[in-house]
Amino acid sequence: MSKPLLSLPIRSLFLWLATSVLATNSAANSTDFRKPANHAAIDASGAPPPLALIADDLLTRIGSDNSLPATDNPRVQRQVEFFLSGPQALRATLRRARPYLFNIVTELEQASLPTGLALLPAIESAFDPKAVSPMHAAGLWQFIPATGDRYGLTLNRQYDGRFSPADSTMAAVRFLTALGEHYEGDWLLALAAYNTGPGNVDRAIARAKREALPVNYWDLSLPRETMDYVPRLLALLRIVAQPQRYNIELPFIANEPHLLAIDMQQRFSLSNIAEFTDLSIAELRRHNPALKADASPEQGPHTLQLPAALARSINDTRRREPDRVWHNVPAVHVVVSGDSLSELARTYETSVDRLQALNNLPDTRIGIGKKLTVGVSQAPDRPLDETSQISCHGVAKNLNYQYGTHTVRSGDSIWSIARTLGTQSGKLRSWNDMGGEKRVLSIGEQMHHASLKPKKERDNIIRYRARANDSLTAIAEKFGITTLDLRRCNSSLQSDPRVAPGQLVLIPVRPS
């Protein structure tokens, strides 16, 4: 018999039911199962295969670890039956683990902790990095704010490290290390303390000593959830180690990095990263759920998590271009009466679709007073050095502007100055870092403004992806420019003229 549902912890029951629904929709078409017949042989005693036999399967690597004690306790068997009663939910949970599991295993092994602890998020959050419990525990490892802060997670209005798979894993490793030391290597007690808190476990131990009872996890009087919590992890490890024995197919998870975390060491914006990687902002948010905005916090952390190949590509670019800026400061517009997305798109030279994406708008309706990110400011605070020709790091467009200042006179307003200059008030606010704030202008105040050069005087930029066998000279000849133009336009080519296939090269096209 499977375990009665009402005896399950509320959080685990909710997550398990949710994953069961999701799994039912996709399990019939799934082909990524790790079939029992493909596993390394299990000997007659049921022991997992030795480490030397592990191939490319990350679950086999975890299942081969025997650091956590095996037991035939009936509470473990009940949890085994629970998992086997919902195999689709179990497979869905393990598929969700795929992006994170290699990093978790690596961090645990580097800290000399049991590899089996890598499956703890399956019990805590069903490997959902956005999971939040009724008690406000959050993320893969279900940290409450106080514990997250104690173990080094950043939690503020811009960033919640509990939702970062990379950051929360490091915090969990620190927490588990402390618990392992506190309970002198008794991992069953340590796991109980991870669930209910070391204070509750210590009090249960003290009661057992006073009453001359055995001091071990199985005999302690602990909260109902904790009584099921540790057996549930042990049961999951037993199934992962011996899928043949339980006649269950598990997903194959390659024993290699799927996502890599990069310390960008400077502020970055998702729009800038999206432009480099060709990922959508929605995809980047999914990989970086700790970010509450579309940029990393000013004071950090500046951790960016990406698919492994893209992460390596960005690291290569950072080495080639150490001065590259990865953050564009967005212009902000406060909606006033009469504004519409289509009008704002024209004002800020963007599109309605982009405004909706930047601001997570489900439709085109906007309310008065709402702050909208409208894109990168159209012009800098001061004119650029026109003799420097074209820069291709976010300011090339500004070379198509001619710059000036307006001295505020009595009776001037943003609207009247914009009309005098033949521009829009939104642009004037953006050029002077005013956002959407309403304030009285001071007589004598200098207002920066810019206007487009005549079309024949403008420079244009072509974004070109280098192909196999491309060289600096070949690209220059293809577009009828000089290699000097290319080097001036691409700082990475100034120190290293080699061009890699797929590398983005910005091409200055001179007016005819």
pLDDT in tens, 133-145: 988 999 999 999 9
> Whole-model pTM?
0.60
With respect to residue 172, please indicate whether it lies within any of the assigned structural domains.
no
pLDDT over 90 (residue 91): yes
User: Is residue 217 domain-shared with residue 272, that is, in the same domain?
Assistant: no
With respect to residue 361, please indicate whether it lies within any of the assigned structural domains.
no
The confidence score (pLDDT) of residue 41 equals 31
Boundary-marking domain end, from 421, 439, 456:
456
Please give the full DSSP string across 305-347, using - where no structure is assigned: EEEHHHHHHHHHHHHH-TT-----PEEEEE--TT--HHHHHHH
Count of structural domains, the chain = 4
In the structure, what pLDDT confidence band is assigned to residue 381 with cuts at 50, 70 and 90?
very low
User: Is residue 434 domain-shared with residue 466, that is, in the same domain?
Assistant: no
User: Is residue 295 domain-shared with residue 212, that is, in the same domain?
Assistant: no
With respect to residue 35, please indicate whether it lies within any of the assigned structural domains.
yes
Mean pLDDT score, 239-263: 93
| 112-116, 317-321, 329-333, 438-442: which is most confident | 112-116
Boundary-marking domain end, from 251, 267, 294:
251
With respect to residue 121, please indicate whether it lies within any of the assigned structural domains.
yes
Q: CATH number, domain at 467?
A: 3.10.350.10
pLDDT over 70 (residue 491): no
With respect to residue 354, please indicate whether it lies within any of the assigned structural domains.
no
- The percent of residues above 90 in pLDDT, for the chain, comes to 42
| 369-378, 396-405, 467-476, 503-512: which is most confident | 467-476
Do 168 and 161 contact (CB within 8 A), yes or no? yes
Please give the C-alpha separations between residue 505 and each of 390, 400, 458, 474, in angstroms, as whole numbers: 13, 20, 20, 12
In the structure, what pLDDT confidence band is assigned to residue 403 with cuts at 50, 70 and 90?
low
In the structure, what pLDDT confidence band is assigned to residue 77 with cuts at 50, 70 and 90?
very high
pLDDT over 80 (residue 392): no
Mean pLDDT score, 423-447: 71
User: Is residue 442 domain-shared with residue 501, that is, in the same domain?
Assistant: no
With respect to residue 310, please indicate whether it lies within any of the assigned structural domains.
yes
pLDDT digits (tens, 9 = 90+) for 360-372: 888 888 888 888 8
In the structure, what pLDDT confidence band is assigned to residue 411 with cuts at 50, 70 and 90?
confident
User: Is residue 409 domain-shared with residue 294, that is, in the same domain?
Assistant: no
pLDDT over 50 (residue 433): yes
In the structure, what pLDDT confidence band is assigned to residue 189 with cuts at 50, 70 and 90?
very high
pLDDT over 80 (residue 429): no
The confidence score (pLDDT) of residue 233 equals 97
More confident residue, 457 or 490: 490
The confidence score (pLDDT) of residue 100 equals 96
pLDDT digits (tens, 9 = 90+) for 35-59: 333 333 333 333 443 433 344 789 9
Q: How far apart are CA 449 and CA 422, in angstroms?
A: 10
Mean pLDDT score, 313-326: 87
The confidence score (pLDDT) of residue 5 equals 33
Q: How far apart are CA 2 and CA 489, in angstroms?
A: 66
Q: How far apart are CA 499 and CA 187, in angstroms?
A: 53
pLDDT over 90 (residue 79): yes
Query: Which residue range forms the structural domain that includes residue 414?
Result: 377-456
The confidence score (pLDDT) of residue 348 equals 61
With respect to residue 464, please indicate whether it lies within any of the assigned structural domains.
yes
Q: Exactly one of 81, 124, 445, 457 is catalytic; name it.
A: 124
pLDDT over 50 (residue 76): yes
User: Is residue 283 domain-shared with residue 426, that is, in the same domain?
Assistant: no
Burial annotation 49-84 (CB, 10 A radius, 16+ → b, else e): beeeebeebbbbbbbbbeebeebebebbebbbebbe
Do 159 and 292 contact (CB within 8 A), yes or no? yes
pLDDT over 80 (residue 287): yes
The confidence score (pLDDT) of residue 418 equals 81
User: Is residue 423 domain-shared with residue 299, that is, in the same domain?
Assistant: no
pLDDT over 60 (residue 448): yes
With respect to residue 229, please indicate whether it lies within any of the assigned structural domains.
yes
The confidence score (pLDDT) of residue 401 equals 55
The confidence score (pLDDT) of residue 284 equals 92
Boundary-marking domain end, from 251, 267, 284:
251
User: Is residue 311 domain-shared with residue 410, that is, in the same domain?
Assistant: no
Mean per-residue pLDDT of the chain: 78
Q: How far apart are CA 106 and CA 169, in angstroms?
A: 10
Total H helices, total E strands in the chain: 21, 10
User: Is residue 502 domain-shared with residue 386, that is, in the same domain?
Assistant: no
User: Is residue 87 domain-shared with residue 233, that is, in the same domain?
Assistant: yes
More confident residue, 255 or 278: 255
Specify whether 124 is catalytic. Answer: yes
- The percent of residues above 70 in pLDDT, for the chain, comes to 75
pLDDT digits (tens, 9 = 90+) for 323-345: 887 876 556 677 877 778 887 77
User: Is residue 45 domain-shared with residue 182, that is, in the same domain?
Assistant: yes
User: Is residue 123 domain-shared with residue 198, that is, in the same domain?
Assistant: yes
Mean pLDDT score, 468-472: 77
Mean pLDDT score, 240-257: 94
Q: How far apart are CA 168 and CA 140, in angstroms?
A: 7
